[in-house]
Amino acid sequence: MTRVRSRIPTQILVSAGGIVFRPIAGGSAEVVLISVGAPPRWQLPKGLVDVGETPEVAALREVREEAGIDATILDKMKTVEYWYQSTAAGKRVRYHKFVHFFLMRYVAGDVADHDDEVNEARWVEIGQALELIAFKSERAVLEEATGYILR
């Protein structure tokens, strides 16, 4: 069998984000979710790691920008990897994306203070967040984090 090589260029992208939580009454917790896009979808705050940045610094920055809050990193959760295609400069591009997720505890700030690329940021009880989150890979990260958050 002959293998056909794709003529679509591939780019690697590295992002970082956080599962930010705060305890609530009754032994549960809330996590911060952001709504982006049209139609809107709920997801964890995350974004590209800038040149010279570590994933940890990028994750804290993205949480601040997209969710309007400050947090502190407790632990690295996992790195999600996926492929997608899009258009860049009028040409088709295949992206191989890696997203480093960190477990974070809320420190300060208000979710109303999010940036313009986000439709809305809100605190959501962790069980409800698992139902709202749009991406299967992010739901799996949140499910894993739930074990740490609720112990």
The answer to whether the predicted template modeling score (pTM) of the entire model surpasses 0.85 is yes
| Three-state DSSP class for residue 21 | strand
Tens of pLDDT, residues 81-110: 999 998 888 889 999 999 999 999 999 999
10-23 and 91-109: which strand pairing? parallel
For domain 20-149, the CATH class is alpha beta
Tens of pLDDT, residues 123-139: 999 999 999 999 999 99
Domain ranges of the chain: 20-149
What residues have CB less than 8 Å from 89, skipping those under 6 apart? none
